[in-house]
A and B are shown apart, each in its own frame.
Chain A
Amino acid sequence: MSLLDIFMIAVRVAFSAFIPLCFIAVCVWMERRGAGFFQDRAGPNRAAIYGFRAAGLVQNAADGIKLFFKEDMISDHIKHKFFFVMAPFIVFFCAIISFAVVPFADTLVLGGRGYVMQGIPMDIGILWFLAVTGFSVYGIILAGWSSANKFGLLGSLRSAAQVISYEIPMGLALVSMLIVYGTVNLSEMAQYQGQLLFGFIPMWGAFLQPVSLMIFVIAAFAECNRTPFDLAEGESELVAGFHVEYSAMKFAVFFMGEYVAMFASSAIIITLFFGGYQIPFLNTQALITFAKPVAFFMMIGLPIGMYYFAGWIRRNNVSHYPRENDPRVTEANVYIKCFWGLVVIIELLLIGILICQSGGSAAHVFVALLQICTFLVKVTMMIFVYIWVRWTLPRFRYDQLQKLGWQMLLPLALLNIFITSAVVIALS
C-alpha cells in the first residue's frame, strides 16, 4: 500500500464522515431562514460577531453553544438510563453511516490505479442504506420507551408503525429501479446514469422511472420523519413526541441526527434518480477529454456570476430603516471582498488546469472535484425540496398516513414493478 493509497482512503472516509456534519449547519440555516422567507418574515438574522451576521449563520453557532452548555438533565423517573442515553446516538450514528455507501465522484484514476470515491466501497450499496435507515428507528423506539412518558411512547409507536408501512413501498420502488439498472451497487448506478437516452436526454432514473421516483421520495420523507409525515413528533398533539424528555446536548444529537438523515436520504435520491455526481451531457470520459474547455468556460462564468451575486448582496444586506453610517453596508462590502478573494483563488487553480498537460492526473483530480461540487449542489437542491415541502404541506392525520402507504403507494409500486419488468423483458 503506497502513501497515495492511504491518503485517498483518508480523504474518502473523511469526506463521507464530515460532509454530513458540515451540512447540518447548512440545513438548519436553510430551514430557518427558508421558513422565514416562505412565510414572509425574516427568520433568525440578529446574532452577530462584531456586527457580522453571516446571513444568520452565526445564530447556528449561538444555538450550538447554548445547547452544549445547558444542564444535561435525566429525570428521576427514568429507570433505564443506559438506553435513554444511548437512543439519540443510535439515531445519529445510523444517519451518518447510511451516507457511507453513496459515491460522491466517479472512480478517480491516479497513476494507473482506480480509487472508488465512496466512504465504504461495498457492492451491496443500496441494501446497506435500507438496512441502516431501518435500524435508526430503533433509536426512536428506545427513546420513547425509556422516557417512561406517554407522549414519548405514543410518538415512538407512531414512528415504528410509520417506518414499517413506508419501508415496503420504498423497497418495492427500489426493486423497479434495480430491474432497470441491473445492479445494487450505487457507483455502477451513477455510472449508468451518465449515458444519454435517445441521444439527448440524460439517462437519469427520474426520466426512466417517474412513478418510482414519486413513491421513493414520499417514502423517504416518511422515513426521515419530516413533514407531512412528522407524526412521531406532532407537537400539537404529542408536545414533542419521542424526544419530550430529552434536553441539552442529547436533544441536540437527535436534532442533528434528523438533519444528517435528511442529507443522507437526499444523497440517495440524487444517486438513484438524478444522476448522482454526473453533470448532464458530460460524463466522466468527456469531462477528462474536455477538461481545458470546461475550465476555460468556468473561468469566464465565475466572475460574471460573482458580479451579479455581489450586486444581490449589496442590495439586500442593508438596514431597512433610516440609520446613519449603516454598518450593514460595510458588512456587505467585507462579504463581497471575501467572495471575490475566493473567486480569485478558484481562477488561479483553473489557470493551473489550463497550463497542465491534458488528460494527466491534474485533469483527473479536477474532474473529481467538479463532480463532488455537482453532487453537493444537487444534494443541497434536494434538501431545499425537503424544506420547501415542509413549509407548504400540513401534517397528515394518522389514518390518512396509513391509507396512503398501504392502499395507494403499495399497489402503485407493485404495478410499477410488473410494467417495468415487462418492458425490460420486451426490450432485451
Chain B
Amino acid sequence: MGAKVKTMERRGSTFIERIYLVEIFKGMARTLSHLLRNLKDNSKLYVRHYPEVQPEIPAGWRGRHRLTTHDDGTVKCVACFMCQTNCPADCISIEAGERHDDKAEKMPVSFNINLLECIYCGYCVEACPLDAIRMDTGIFSLTDNNRQAFIIGLDELLTTPGAYPEEDQKKGGA
C-alpha cells in the first residue's frame, strides 16, 4: 500500500503575486465579506452564548469524579488503593477502614481528591476493579474562592449523581 503523494502547487512566484498588492486586496476582500455578513446579521457569528447556553458534553467526556454505590446506597469502593497508586498527579488520598456489612472487608474512611492537582487523565477510572470511581458527572467548570474548596471528600463524591444513563456507560463512557 503505497502512500498517496499529493503535489502541492507552489504559489507566490508569478508577477502578480510578487507585486503583493493584488493579493493583499484579495485577502482584504475576503475579510470584509466576513465583516459585512456578521454586521448584517449577527446571529451568524460562530459563537456559543455561554454561560446562558451550555455546551453539550458527550458521555465519554471526563468531568469531575464521583464514587458509585451499590443498589442499597452503600459505597462500592473497597479501598484497594489501585486508583491512588495509579494516579500520575498524586491527587487521590484514601484512608481505609474495616467494613462490617458483609459486602467487602475494607471500605474508605476518607477519600479525598484534590481537583487542583488532578489532570483528568481518567487512569483512576481505568484502574478501578469494581467500577467504583467514575468521571461521568458532566461537571466541567469548577470555580471557588479558596483552595480548600477544591479538595472534595467522600460525601461530595458519593452524592453527585452521574449525568448519563447506564446504557451510555456501557458503550464506553469514562
Q: Is A236 an interface residue (CB 8 A)?
A: no
Taking CB atoms and an 8 Å cut-off, the chain A residues in 23-68 that contact chain B are 34, 36-42
Which residues on A sit within 8 Å (CB–CB) of B43? 320
CB distance from A305 to the nearest CB of B (A): 16
Cross-chain contact of A42 among B27, B35, B42, B52 (Cβ < 8 A)? B42
> Which of A10-18, A193-201, A386-394 faces chain B?
A386-394
Residues from 290 to 319 in A contacting B, C-beta threshold 8 Å = 315-316, 319
A374 to chain B, nearest CB (A): 23
Residues on B with beta carbons closer than 8 Å to the beta carbon of A391: 31
Q: With A38-B34, A393-B24 in contact, is A316–B47 under 8 Å at CB?
A: no
Contacts of B144 in A (CB 8 A): none
> How many residues of chain A are within 8 Å of chain B by beta carbon?
20
Please state if A392 and B39 are interface contacts (CB–CB under 8 Å): no
In the complex, which residues of chain B have a beta carbon less than 8 angstroms from the beta carbon of A36? 45
Inter-chain CA distance A391–B32, complex, in Å, is 10
Per-position 1/0 for B15-50, Cβ under 8 A of A: 000000100100110111011001101111111010
User: Distance in Å from the Cβ of A382 to the closest Cβ of chain B?
Assistant: 14
Residues 363-401 of chain A: 1 if any B CB is under 8 Å from the residue's CB, otherwise 0?
000000000000000000000000011011100000000
B1 CB–A CB distance under 8 Å: no
B53 within 8 A of A: yes
Inter-subunit contact B42/A388 (CB<8 Å): no
Q: Which of B54-83 contact A (CB under 8 A)?
A: none
Report Cα–Cα, A36/B21, bound state, in Å: 25
| A42 and B47 contact, Cβ closer than 8 Å, known pairs A34-B35, A37-B34, A37-B35 | yes
Judge whether A321 is part of the interface by a CB distance below 8 angstroms: yes
Interface size class of B (residues with CB under 8 A): 20 to 34
Whole-angstrom CA separation of A37 from B21 in the bound complex: 24
Complex contact B28–A388 (CB within 8 A)? yes
Complex CA–CA separation, A37 to B38 (angstroms): 6
With a cutoff of 8 Å between Cβ atoms, the chain B residues found around residue A319 in the complex are 49, 52
Interface pair A321/B42, CB less than 8 Å apart: no
Q: Give the complex CA separation of A39 and B34 in angstroms.
A: 7
Contact call A392/B38, Cβ cutoff below 8 A: no
Cross-interface CB contact of B34 among A40, A320, A389, cutoff 8 Å: A40
A214 on the B face (CB < 8 A): yes
Residue of A nearest to B46 (CB): A40
B residues in contact with A42, CB < 8 Å = 42, 45, 47
Asked whether, in the complex, the Cβ of A392 is within 8 Å of the Cβ of B31, the reply is: yes
A187 to chain B, nearest CB (A): 32
B25 to chain A, nearest CB (A): 10
Evaluate whether A321 and B38 lie within 8 angstroms (CB atoms) in the complex, with A214-B21, A388-B32 already known.
no
- Residue on A nearest B43 in the bound complex, by CB: A320
Q: Write the chain A residue with the least CB distance to B30.
A: A392
Contact, CB under 8 Å: B34 / A316: no
Minimum CB–CB distance from B140 to chain A (whole Å) comes to 19
Contacts of B30 in A (CB 8 A): 392
CB distance from A299 to the nearest CB of B (A): 27
Q: In the docked arrangement, what's the CA distance between A387 and B159, Å?
A: 52
| A255 to B21 alpha-carbon distance, docked (Å) | 29
> How many angstroms between the C-alpha atoms of A37 and B32 in the bound complex?
9
Knowing A40-B34, A42-B45, say if A321 contacts B52 (CB, 8 Å): yes
CB distance from A311 to the nearest CB of B (A): 11
Contacts of B42 on A, CB cut-off 8 Å? 37, 42, 316, 320
Q: Check A392 against B52 for contact (C-beta < 8 Å).
A: no
Given contacts A389-B28, A392-B27, A393-B24, contact A37 B39 (CB under 8 A): yes
Least CB distance from B29 to A in Å reads 9
Q: Are B31 and A41 closer than 8 Å at their CB atoms?
A: no
Q: Which 9 A-B pairs have the closest CB atoms?
A: A37-B38, A392-B31, A40-B46, A37-B35, A316-B42, A321-B53, A38-B31, A392-B27, A320-B43
Instruction: Give 21 pairs: A residue, B residue, CB < 8 Å, sorted on A.
Output: A36-B45, A37-B35, A37-B38, A37-B42, A37-B45, A38-B31, A39-B34, A40-B38, A40-B45, A40-B47, A41-B46, A42-B45, A42-B47, A315-B41, A320-B42, A323-B52, A388-B31, A392-B24, A392-B27, A392-B28, A392-B31
Tell me the A residues contacting B by CB distance below 8 Å: 34, 36-42, 214, 315-316, 319-321, 323, 388-389, 391-393
Sample of 6 further A-B pairs with CB below 8 A, known A37-B35, A37-B38, A37-B39:
A38-B34, A40-B38, A319-B52, A388-B28, A389-B28, A392-B31
**Residues of B near any A CB (own CB < 8 A):** 21, 24, 27-28, 30-32, 34-35, 38-39, 41-47, 49, 52-53
